[in-house]
Structure 1
Amino acid sequence: MAEPNPTLPGVTRLLQALTTIAGVALVLMMLHICADVFMKYVFNSPVQGTLEIVSGYYMVIAVYLPLPLVEWLRQAIVVDVVFIRMPRAMKIACVLIVLASLVAVYGAFAWQTWLDAMRAYGRNEIAMGPAQTVIWPARFVLPIGFGLASVIGLWHFMGVLIGFERESWLGALDIEHTGE
């Protein structure tokens, strides 16, 4: 699906940068795990803190930083068995309800994860394992991902409500309209 609003290239660049960071985290995770396995089986000395760093940093970054780009490009999973049979007015209402729900849920997640991140920061949260690992900085990835996804959802909601994105949403979601 094409970018919903090509007149905002700065937004796309920001979201692609976040996704690139997530990709780098995936590569680092792979290298870290490979090094851990190599050290464990060759030298009988695994890399300390691998589990904590992989689960506390790499995985969180890889999952939550690309979320806003997925919403911006409207690449979430869609099941439209009923939607394609609805009249146009119902389709618009349905899209607006879904987008309003998306904004509310992502916004609530962003708020709660921000509070959690601030608590973790306040107590200098660490993961206890073979090595103590400071994990509070990774807690801020969630409110960034959820917050940007919520803002993007609001952008789409306003676009459908005002009309500048309405046809692109209906065309993208209507299989009969796209000729597929």
Structure 2
Amino acid sequence: MNGVWKAYNIFHYIKLAGIWISGISVLLMMLMIVYDVTMRTLFSSSIRGGFEIIQNYMMPLVVFPGLAYVYASGVLPKMDLILERLNKKAKKIMIFFMLLLELFVLVLIVQFSWEYAMSGLDRKTAFPAAGTLYPLYPLFFLIPIAFAMIVIENVFIFIKNILDKNPSMVMREAENKPEELL
């Protein structure tokens, strides 16, 4: 189990990098909006193509890099009410079933979003803003990367449930975290 925790610790740092990217993107988006509103209010001008840039660049950078961290944090609903009422064996079976189902759906999302990203790359998808075409296709790759990271998180949870006696739908819990992860 120590090897799994060491690998998960490395993966945790990758997820932290994603949450930092999301946080910095929120800050930049906020500053850009404040600057745009100030310029419009005081000087009757605005950032050319500002809305399109925020919509097509900043919003995906806010959502997708931090998605795996949010998923791993356990704040998303995971049928906790049903699982708490089951005995340990039934709970473990239900968790394995739910993890396999999630893995199946997430792998499909990764596959189809990767194909869409590759199609966007082939077509060099762009969006117009202020009379200029800005490339959009690089951001298409955020989606399969984000969902692939959730697949990796679920694989870690699956391995943890195989090796650990206490079934759980999250990788980290306060009572059984190694000291270096606290």
TM range (shorter): 0.7 to 0.9
CA distance in 2, matches of 1:41, 1:134: 30
Taking structure 1 as reference, are residues 170 and 109 closer, same or farther at Cα in structure 2, changes over 3 Å only? closer
Question: In the alignment, which residue of structure 1 is the partner of 2:49?
Answer: 49
**Structure 2 counterpart SS, 1:39:** helix
Unaligned ranges ≥5, structure 1: 173-180
Question: In the alignment, which residue of structure 1 is the partner of 2:148?
Answer: 147
CA distance in 2, matches of 1:171, 1:41: 48
1:104 is the counterpart of 2:69: no
Q: Which moved more, 1:129-138 or 1:12-21?
A: 129-138
CA distance in 2, matches of 1:113, 1:154: 20
**TM alignment of 1:1-180, pairs within 5 A:** 6-7=5-6, 8-131=8-131, 132-160=133-161, 162-164=162-164, 166-167=165-166, 169=168
**What value does the CA root-mean-square deviation take over the aligned residues?**
2.2
Q: Between the two proteins, what is the percent identity of the paired residues? A: 22
**What are the Cα deviations for residues 47-78 of structure 1, in whole angstroms up to 9, with x where unaligned?**
12222221212111211111212333434223
Q: TM-score, normalised by structure 2?
A: 0.81
**Structure 2 counterpart SS, 1:81:** helix
Q: Tell me how far 1:168 sits from its aligned partner.
A: 5.8
- The 8 Å contact of residues 68 and 149 in structure 2, kept in 1 or not, is answered as yes
Taking structure 1 as reference, are residues 171 and 72 closer, same or farther at Cα in structure 2, changes over 3 Å only? closer
Unaligned ranges ≥5, structure 2: 172-182
**Structure 2 counterpart SS, 1:40:** helix
Write out the 4+ residue segments of structure 1 that deviate beyond 6 Å after TM superposition: none
**Structure 2 counterpart SS, 1:77:** coil
CA distance in 2, matches of 1:171, 1:116: 30
- The 8 Å contact of residues 25 and 62 in structure 1, kept in 2 or not, is answered as yes
CA distance in 2, matches of 1:170, 1:103: 13
Q: TM-score, normalised by structure 1?
A: 0.82
CA distance in 2, matches of 1:76, 1:156: 15
**What are the Cα deviations for residues 89-146 of structure 1, in whole angstroms up to 9, with x where unaligned?**
2111111111112211221111111111111111111113434322111111111101
Alignment: residue pair count: 166
Q: Which moved more, 1:39-48 or 1:143-152?
A: 39-48
- The 8 Å contact of residues 92 and 170 in structure 1, kept in 2 or not, is answered as no
CA distance in 1, matches of 2:112, 2:148: 11
Taking structure 1 as reference, are residues 171 and 46 closer, same or farther at Cα in structure 2, changes over 3 Å only? closer
